[in-house]
Amino acid sequence: MERRFRFWQRWLIVVTIGVAVFGLTLVVAPTLARQLFGLLIYASPFGIDRLGAPAAPYITLVHGVLGAVMFGWAIALLFIVIGPFGRGSREGWLTMTVSLMAWFVPDTAFSLWTGFWPNAVLNLVFATLFAIPLAVTYRAFRQRQT
């Protein structure tokens, strides 16, 4: 059981580092970020640039701020995965799960409500990468009191 738990903990570490790198990429490579989201939303890497000024520079700012927030959130999650989650603390599992749901539900609902379903699909990919290990380890944490 311990080996299996460590596998899922490492999985979460890798996925969380991936989120941190993705967030940091939005900050340090704004052109790449704009092109990736242009491709995702408009099926063209230049879709956002075609919006022109002042929209495209503002979207670049929003991507940078979003990336910085994602990076900070991922670092906090990383400390939880390595710390309380890694020690088998029930609060570690709950904190991870609640934090992910607090992001996923409003972000995905807003994406769908505004018609940007490709972002909802991207959210689903990220959420699934976290949900698999959280679902698999649920029983182990459910039985613990602390």
User: What's the whole-number mean pLDDT along residues 113-142?
Assistant: 94
Angstrom distance (rounded) from CA 91 to CA 145: 9
Q: How many domains does the chain divide into?
A: 1
Domain that holds residue 68: 2-142
Rounded to 5°, angle at Cα 61 from 55 and 65: 140
Per-residue pLDDT tens digits for 52-71: 999 999 999 999 999 999 99
Please state the rounded mean pLDDT for residues 17-23: 97
pLDDT at 113 over 80: yes
Asked, as a colleague might, if the bond just before 106 is cis with ω within 30 of 0, I would say no
3 state SS of 115: coil
Q: Assign residue 53 a region: left if phi > 0, alpha if psi is -120 to 50, beta otherwise?
A: beta
Q: Please, which pLDDT band fits residue 145 given cuts at 50, 70 and 90?
A: low
Residue type for 102, please?
A
Across 97-124, average pLDDT? 97
Residue 108 vs residue 41, higher pLDDT: 108
Q: Give me the chain's average pLDDT, please.
A: 94
